[in-house]
Amino acid sequence: MKTNLSLLVLFITFFSFVTEAQRVIDTVDTPYGKMLLYSNKTWTFFNKPIFDGIMNQRIHKIMTNNQDIPYTQFWNNEVCFMSKENDLSKLKDTVWLNEKNESNLDFKMPVPGAVTSPYGFRKGRNHNGVDMSLKTGDTIYAVWSGKIRYAKYNDGGFGNLVIIRHHNGLETLSAHLSKFLVFPDQDVVAGEPIGLGGSTGRSSGPHLHFEIRFYEAPINPEFFIDFESKKLKHQKLFVHKSIFSPSLKPTESFDDSYLTEHAQTNDSLSIQLPIIKPPVVIQKPKIKYYRVKSGDTLTEIANRNNTTVSKLCQLNGINPTSIIQLGKSLRIK
């Protein structure tokens, strides 16, 4: 009986402590809903608005209404990649993106360092981004404005990872951070610090692994950014199914002259790309020889090989009356 009474007293004491520790001391209205502040310096959101994850209605309309396969774009702070069914190799139409952000014209390099490992096949698999040099503790910046979708440790090799979904329809991934400077669902502007560089996760040394994705499909960042001049290559870019091929080089994309001529601002814009003709390859004629047999004449050799005596003479530096030796090789092509 005494034991039960002691447990009851302990439970009541503990419950009173928790209740007091979590007592609401203030409320704050934020863009994410009403924030409740507790006496133990913790906080939660009350009636937090539900965000559907769509940052660009124009692009999402094309991706869902104009395709043979409707592409999905969810919002989840806990999962790195969600829409495994988004096969962008089956993208039917071409979508143009405003790289400088449809609601904010700013752009900022993620870090000032140089590219140390490019996009493409590496060690038997595709390297879906570029690695950029930095020192541990260097600041990493938001490339475009947007909203933080993911900011946590990723055990798939990225280490501390920040994913930002941008108003221009893209997502950027910054991996191997040593410290987070943002939190999920936070709005950020281009150039805002999002973390500090490091070597967390599957990393052999401090660097930034930087990716650009469209509906979770990776695109070579060099289609967008000139990493040497540290500027955007184009104000707008066409996205078509071939751009998701790891073997496609940035020099094979469409330039601003084509886009200026064809791009419009219609909300339902969907453009078919012109047919890309392969380069004309001029093949050199193959050289062919004939070995002279017993009884052969120039006329017989020419007839047998669909050519003329004059052509044989021209190729071999002889004349029609020349004596051809048995076993000699004559060029016939």
Domain boundaries, the chain: 2-46, 95-262, 289-331
**Along the 333 residues of the chain, how does pLDDT read in single tens digits?**
555 555 544 444 444 444 445 577 777 777 666 777 777 767 676 666 678 899 999 899 888 887 888 888 889 999 988 766 788 888 887 888 877 655 556 899 999 999 999 998 877 788 999 999 999 999 999 999 999 999 999 998 999 999 999 998 999 999 999 999 999 999 999 999 999 999 999 999 999 999 999 999 999 999 999 999 999 888 777 888 888 887 777 765 444 444 444 444 433 333 344 444 445 555 556 678 888 888 888 888 888 888 888 888 888 878 888 778 887 887 888
pTM of the model: 0.65
What is the model's pLDDT at position 275?
41
Of residues 325, 266, 277, 262, the one with CA closest to residue 298: 325
**Is 126 within 8 Å of 160 (Cβ atoms)?**
no
CATH class of segment(s) 289-331: alpha beta
Give the Å distances, CA to CA, from 212 to 127, 308, 325.
Answer: 12, 62, 70
CATH architecture of structural domain 95-262: Distorted Sandwich (2.70)
Of residues 324, 319, 321, the one with CA closest to residue 296: 324
What is the model's pLDDT at position 95?
86
What is the model's pLDDT at position 182?
95
Q: What are 322's two structure tokens?
A: 């020349």
**Spatial distance between the Cα atoms of 76 and 147, rounded to a whole number of angstroms:** 12
What is the model's pLDDT at position 312?
82
What is the model's pLDDT at position 14?
44
* Amino acid residing at 232: L
Work out the widest C-alpha separation in the chain, in whole angstroms.
Answer: 132
**Spatial distance between the Cα atoms of 81 and 74, rounded to a whole number of angstroms:** 10
In the chain, alpha helices (H): 2-21, 57-65, 256-262, 298-304, 309-316
Q: How many helices (H) and strands (E) does the chain have?
A: 5, 22
Give the Å distances, CA to CA, from 21 to 37, 38, 43, 47, 299.
Answer: 11, 7, 12, 22, 110
